[in-house]
Amino acid sequence: MGRKLLYAVVGWVFAINLCGCVLLVAGAAGGAGTALWLSGKLSDEVSAPYERTIEAAKKALKSLEMQIDKETKSDEVAQIRSNYTDGREVWIDIRPLTEITSKLEIRVGAKGDKEASAKILEEIKKHF
């Protein structure tokens, strides 16, 4: 039984990799500090309210010298669009999860650039 479970898990991991999806999990209990790279987007839950996360994203883009091209906001999601330093389009989606947590999704370029997305996420976290 243990071998079957092991084979199933290994098979699942290979299937994920064959699809071009890499799952990064750096974790603490309850999902805090967990960042996912999936389908070209970097996704992370942050311990900051919705409005504060939006402001942190704007400040991060400004500090990276990236101009905001478009911003839309509703009660469910805020989207900020910009261009990366090399001209690729940047999408930042922010969703409220609770009163004190938010979800960030960052994509750089049509196919997604993991390193560039991580750089933006790191900068956003500096502005909380």
pLDDT in tens, 32-71: 456 788 889 999 999 999 999 999 999 999 999 999 999 9
Contact present, 42 and 117 (Cβ < 8 Å) = yes
Q: What is the pLDDT at residue 39?
A: 86
When the pLDDT of each residue in the chain is averaged and rounded to a whole number, the result is 84
Residue 96 CB contacts under 8 Å (≥ 6 apart), including other chains: 49, 50, 75, 76, 102, 103
Q: What domains, with CATH codes, occur in the chain?
A: 23-126 (3.30.310.80)
Q: Is a pLDDT exceeding 90 seen at residue 73?
A: yes
Helix, strand and coil content of the chain, in percent to the nearest 5, comes to 35, 30, 35
Q: What is the pLDDT at residue 122?
A: 97
